[in-house]
A and B are shown apart, each in its own frame.
Chain A
Amino acid sequence: DADVTQTPRNRITKTGKRIMLECSQTKGHDRMYWYRQDPGLGLQLIYYSFDVKDINKGEISDGYSVSRQAQAKFSLSLESAIPNQTALYFCATSGPSWGGGPDTQYFGPGTRLTVL
């Protein structure tokens, strides 16, 4: 089974609808992240969480909210979806590196969201 899972994998919705994307991980990591990817724009950080009580805005948080329900679960919500939120959304996790090395982020398979 995959260490980082995302549901749904694909979603088509209409403008104005509320959408929730879910992420679960079995890696035991404390840190979780949400990114969006648009063609030619790389990955942009939306929100990140270093533990259950810690939520931080990333580069492009407007129009999004998150919930860290447990160490293993981190959800991203679009309160009122708009067409320019059509993108590929990735969840990632990271944890401490033994020996003090840099963290490594592990990505989920992605959710392809289309807002009509």
Chain B
Amino acid sequence: QKEVEQNSGPLSVPEGAIASLNCTYSDRGSQSFFWYRQYSGKSPELIMSIYSNGDKEDGRFTAQLNKASQYVSLLIRDSQPSDSATYLCAKNSNSGYALNFGKGTSLLVTP
């Protein structure tokens, strides 16, 4: 089982809707979780980090962490066409600082 699992999509949502991206992980000891956005051919850029159970909000983005169920999610409110990208879920690895990445979920926001 891969350490971080994501549905590859594509997830298609209309402009203005809420996009919900999900991620599960296998190592109960993981402490830190990250969501990166990656446009085609570009480098990943950090959107959110979260390491406590519950919700963390930053503008239109909300990260949710549930360590008991071993899942992390990212909600994007008022989705815009410019949000169309691949979203990568990541967690700290056993080494502590290196990251394990999921394969990414492709999001398409249609006008």
Contact = CB atoms under 8 A, between A and B. Distances in A.
Interface of A: 31, 33, 35, 40-45, 48, 50, 56, 58, 88, 90, 94, 101-110
Interface in B28-65: 31-32, 34, 41-46, 49, 51
A30 to B, nearest CB: 10
Interface of B: 8, 31-32, 34, 41-46, 49, 51, 88, 90, 92-93, 95, 97-104
Given A42-B102, A56-B95, A107 B44 contact: yes
A105 B99 contact: yes
A56 B94 CA distance: 12
Count chain A CB atoms within 10 A of each CB in B42, B90, B98, B103 and give the residue with the most: B98
Contacts of B102: 42
Given A102-B92, A105-B46, A40 B8 contact: yes
Nearest to A38: B103
A109 B43 contact: yes
B98 A48 contact: yes
Contacts of A33: 98-99
Contacts of A45: 93, 98-100
B22 to A, nearest CB: 15
Contacts, number: 60
B32 A48 contact: no
Contacts of B101: 35, 42-44
B103 A107 contact: no
Contacts of A110: 41-43
- 9 closest Cβ pairs, A-B complex: A102-B32, A42-B103, A107-B43, A43-B101, A42-B101, A48-B98, A107-B44, A102-B49, A102-B51
